[in-house]
A and B are shown apart, each in its own frame.
Chain A
Amino acid sequence: MSDPVVSAGFSFQAKDRSEAFQFYFHQHWVRLVWPFLRLILWNVLIAGTGLTMVFGGTFDEPRTRHTILIILTTFFLLAHFEFLARFYHYLLYVIVVTDKRIHRIKKTLLTMDDQESTDLWVLQDIHKRQHGIIQNILGYGSLILQAQDTEVRIHFTPAINKRYAALTRLREQARVFVSRLEESFRKSRTP
């Protein structure tokens, strides 16, 4: 893969040099189901109208046909570009987990460029929520990360059991690391 973006390794915005990448994930694919269904519905509607025009012989006047053709093409393209934008937005929402932090990167094509980084060792509680049949069958749900002042909610987390276990393990490792640092700092200060 010669693409510079891919070959750049696991670097991402605001990554600290000392951080070691662990894993990343997007939201569950179920997030795209409704936009995809809507796209199919629009296509069926537009194709149906087009076929009615061809075989029904309802609109024979050229000017009417031109107008209807413009309207149909406009709606067809709007439906497709709306889905494409949603698909790109979906890919631009990434959770990157390193050994020290959780980075929530949320961007849109034009209007949004957010990043929220939470230290793993400050997390007091990590909750996992899976409500409903679909969430349990497809194995996704919400992760709620609680720190002293903040609460980070990560909805539509795929393979939530695996992510939950990994986050809990990484938090313990980060706490051990920080406590060791504090201890060595304390020792160095005592005469």
Chain B
Amino acid sequence: MIVRMGILTPLLSWCLLILVIEIAFWGLFRRKIMQICLPIHGDAIFFHFFTVWRLRLFAIVHTVALILCVIIGHLLLWP
């Protein structure tokens, strides 16, 4: 249990780093995409699927997936 407690600091640091980078990426991306504007109704090509709302959801899912992978990796490999 003492050994497992040591895992918390690196895990929290990694999670914080992931959050900061994801938020920074999303903020930069949103600022740029605001000027372009993706329409929601258009001819049915693949990329009309990516509205801003769906991209935001994608960013959240990506963040959660990364955090989960890092947690699982640390739990498996921590000595």
Contacts and interface: CB of A to CB of B under 8 A. Distances in A.
A84 B23 CA distance: 12
A161 to B, nearest CB: 13
Interface string B1-43: 0000000001000100110011001001110111111111011
B42 A1 contact: no
A84 B78 contact: no
Interface residues of A, number: 47
A94 interface: yes
Contacts of B36: 12-13, 92, 94, 96, 105, 107
B62 A84 contact: yes
Interface residues of B, number: 39
B77 A50 contact: yes
A13 B78 contact: no
Contacts of B53: 1, 3, 6
Given A66-B79, A84-B25, A50 B73 contact: yes
B20 to A, nearest CB: 11
A23 interface: yes
Interface in A56-108: 60-62, 65-66, 68-70, 72-73, 76-77, 80-81, 84-85, 88, 91-92, 94, 96, 105, 107
Given A1-B40, A92-B36, A25 B70 contact: no
A80 B36 CA distance: 25
Interface of A: 1, 3, 5-6, 8-13, 21, 23-26, 29, 50, 53-54, 60-62, 65-66, 68-70, 72-73, 76-77, 80-81, 84-85, 88, 91-92, 94, 96, 105, 107, 109-110, 113, 158-159
Given A73-B14, A76-B69, A85-B25, 6 more contacts: A5-B52, A9-B37, A70-B10, A73-B70, A73-B73, A109-B25
29 contacts: A1-B40, A1-B53, A3-B51, A3-B52, A5-B34, A5-B38, A5-B52, A6-B38, A10-B39, A21-B39, A24-B42, A26-B47, A50-B73, A53-B77, A62-B79, A68-B77, A73-B73, A77-B18, A80-B66, A84-B22, A85-B25, A91-B50, A92-B29, A92-B32, A94-B36, A109-B28, A109-B29, A110-B28, A158-B46
Interface of B: 10, 14, 17-18, 21-22, 25, 28-30, 32-40, 42-43, 45-47, 50-53, 55, 62, 66, 69-70, 73-74, 76-79
